[in-house]
Amino acid sequence: MSTTRTGYIALVGRPNVGKSTLMNAMLGEKLSIVTEKAQTTWQRVTGIATTAGVQMIFLDTPGLLVAKDLFQKSMLGEALAAVREADVVLLVMDAGRPLDAAATASMRDILDGSSAPLIVAVNKVDVVPHSAVQDGLRWAEALDARAFAISALSGTGLEELKEALVSSLPQAPFLYPADEIASEPVRFFVAELVRETIFERYRQEIPYSVVCRVEEFREEQEPIYIAVGVFVERESQKGILVGKAGVGIRELGGDSREKIEHLLGRSVYLDLWVKTLDGWRRKRDDLTRLGFHVPDDLR
């Protein structure tokens, strides 16, 4: 039997509860994008943390929601697939936003898709009253789960949580080289950083209507040349993104470039190409072309 412990830990929970923040904290690196808006994560992001004898492979997932369009179905599908594949399911909840009976029932339903051990992280204890944290812990116990009060932001409780995760992992050889932290290509993270910046700079429907894809990546030149396709759902949204005299797109480009340079550790020339991809959220072909997995049906 292997002397190392290795396994997949699916981070699941409602939108905005802090799943991505928690994964980044566990990795000690910013891998997944994080914003204050719900539905920031759109696809699974794999984050690998290897320490002496242990490889934790985190699967950050989109928040669990009731899917209202084809794109949300794809998001939900990603989360459900991660639950099915996980060796440990780490359910994250926001201690300040308890789940009502109906939401708890649908959560149980989702968790039924896995026989893996369940651990609950009651998050945001840095800002939530003690009594609400206690309610969260009791809620988790009713799910027959081990529960931990944590703050992904400040780091409270993360060591205890990590110990519990490690002891739940199967004894198995490492699946990734010890120095690897991500499995998605760098292009994915570049596009994500542009999307994160859009989430920060725009309100209402724009963040949810814009999808980004790296179209060109020429790293043999200095600065690196990167072209990112920024696809809006409707022609009218182009003007909002580009802004008066192109100020909007210039500022978006500037902020995104800084983040990308930080990620790559090199200077970057960033070209943003805004294009309309009419109603992409509802079109299977477009979603597939953009790299999303659209399930034929959900359970």
Dihedral sign (CA 287, 35, 90, 98): negative
Phi, psi dihedrals of residue 145, rounded to the nearest 5°: -115, 155
The answer to whether 20 contacts Mg ion (rule: CB under 5 A) is yes
CB atoms within 10 A of CB 261: 16
- Shortest distance in whole angstroms from residue 157 CB to ligand GTP: 9
Among 10, 83, 88, 152, binds ligand GTP (CB under 6 A): 152
Interaction mask 32-71, Mg ion, x per CB under 5 A: --------xx------------------------------
**Pick 39 or 106: Cβ nearer ligand GTP:** 39
Length, in residues, of the chain: 299
> In angstroms, rounded to a whole number, what is the distance separating the alpha carbons of residues 70 and 265?
37
Query: How many angstroms separate the Cα of 248 from the Cα of each of 193, 200, 201, 230?
Result: 16, 13, 9, 13
**Pick 22 or 272: Cβ nearer Mg ion:** 22
Nearby residues of 196 by Cβ (< 8 Å), 6 or more positions away: 33, 34, 35, 40, 259
**Pick 73 or 195: Cβ nearer Mg ion:** 195
At residue 30, the 3 state secondary structure works out as coil
Among 5, 8, 10, 40, binds ligand GTP (CB under 6 A): 40
Among 1, 36, 68, 100, binds ligand GTP (CB under 6 A): 36
**Pick 54 or 181: Cβ nearer ligand GTP:** 181
> Do residues 280 and 231 touch, judged by C-beta distance below 8 A?
yes
Q: Which residues bind Mg ion (CB under 5 A)?
A: 19-20, 40-41
Q: Which residues bind ligand GTP (CB under 6 A)?
A: 15-21, 34-36, 38-41, 62-63, 123-124, 126-127, 151-153
